[in-house]
Amino acid sequence: MRCDEVRELLGPYVDSELDAESRAVVDTHVCSCDSCQCEIRDIRALGDRIKSCGCGCGTVPPALWDRIANHVSPAPTPRARGLFLRLRLFAAAAACLLVAVGGLWLLSGGPGLISTAQAAPVDFSVLLNGLSGDAEKAFRQFVDLYKGRRVSASEARRHAPQLNFAVPEDLPGGFALQEAFALRIGDAPAAAAIYRRDGEFIGTIFHRAIHPEDYGTYRDHPCVVGEHRGHRVDVGEWRLVHVTDVTTCHCVLSRLDESKELPAILHAVAPDFQAGAGHSHP
């Protein structure tokens, strides 16, 4: 099974609601898939955090869930059961937050809550929407969105040691490193960098592979860049290209031809990438 198919079963898998055959399929897949193992850990960690709040405020009447299940389906599928599990978790989390910070403060949108509720998907729309104007400014807005702070190349690497990427001082074709950044996307560390060649700008972003990616109104397309299979989003003359291995999505924003200069750039920022080991979009 593919990762996207398995992830629909992870909720009921963690909640021990799968039949023996489905559970065996998931067991076999996750034994060799680091991304789905991370997803399972995230689901369990969320449940543990909610249980540990100890405020006793996360209880929702069982009859409510029964009514929801009856309206959705007389015999909920594993996917539906997984949805109900997550609804329970998020309802409990929301209830605990209401007690902890106060209903009025919650409705007013306090800054601490906004930080805690940072969405897991990587939102590229702020970057893509700005490419028709100043591309570098749009890139910096993306960095700011994810609380980027300027660091050295080595610090960027230490900030996200579980990711597989490089921030070299120079890229093929004469591009020189200008700035490196440490980011945080959801609860996971990430990194970014800016390169220039005679005023020409390139931006690189590295984030955890299991994060979904949101392109707003733009569509992504499959592409092949040298030995890398990935996907790209085109906005005018700009291309946001992604190639993904088991731990890391390597993103390069440039105006370079994907059959000429770009393959060497991707090889430089993903030096340990194993062809065929990554996950490309269909």
* Tokens 């190639």 found at: 243
**Is 64 in the same domain as 134?**
no
Residue 155 has pLDDT above 70, yes or no: yes
Tell me which of 74, 101, 116 is where a domain ends. 116
- What pLDDT does 88 receive? 58
**Is 139 in the same domain as 242?**
yes
Task: Write down the pTM of the prediction.
Answer: 0.57
**Is 45 in the same domain as 129?**
no
What is the span of the domain harbouring residue 153? 122-269
Residue 276 has pLDDT above 60, yes or no: no
**Does 196 fall in a domain?**
yes
61: nearest Cα among 28, 29, 95, 33: 95
The confidence band for 277, taking pLDDT boundaries of 50, 70 and 90, is: very low
The confidence band for 113, taking pLDDT boundaries of 50, 70 and 90, is: very low
The confidence band for 246, taking pLDDT boundaries of 50, 70 and 90, is: confident
**Is 68 in the same domain as 129?**
no
**Is 251 in the same domain as 142?**
yes
Is residue 136 exposed (0-12), middle (13-18) or buried (19+ Cβ within 10 Å)?
middle
Structure tokens at 26: 């998931």
**Does 225 fall in a domain?**
yes
- Could you tell me where the beta strands, DSSP code E, fall in the chain? 122-123, 149-151, 170-171, 175-185, 188-197, 200-208, 213-214, 221-225, 228-235, 238-244, 248-254
**Does 279 fall in a domain?**
no
- What pLDDT does 201 receive? 95
Residue 175 has pLDDT above 60, yes or no: yes
**Is 36 in the same domain as 126?**
no
Cβ atoms 248, 206 nearer than 8 A: yes
The confidence band for 196, taking pLDDT boundaries of 50, 70 and 90, is: very high
The confidence band for 99, taking pLDDT boundaries of 50, 70 and 90, is: very low
**Does 281 fall in a domain?**
no
**Is 137 in the same domain as 255?**
yes
Of residues 248 and 96, more confidence is placed in 248
Average pLDDT for the chain: 78
The confidence band for 102, taking pLDDT boundaries of 50, 70 and 90, is: very low
Tell me which of 63, 90, 116 is where a domain ends. 116
CATH number at residue 221: 3.30.200.100
Beta bridge partners, 250, equal 206, 243
**Is 108 in the same domain as 156?**
no
pLDDT tens string 33-91? 877 887 788 788 777 766 666 554 445 555 555 555 555 544 555 555 555 555 555 55
Residue 3 has pLDDT above 80, yes or no: no
**Is 25 in the same domain as 103?**
yes
**Is 140 in the same domain as 251?**
yes
* Domain count across the chain: 2
The confidence band for 121, taking pLDDT boundaries of 50, 70 and 90, is: confident
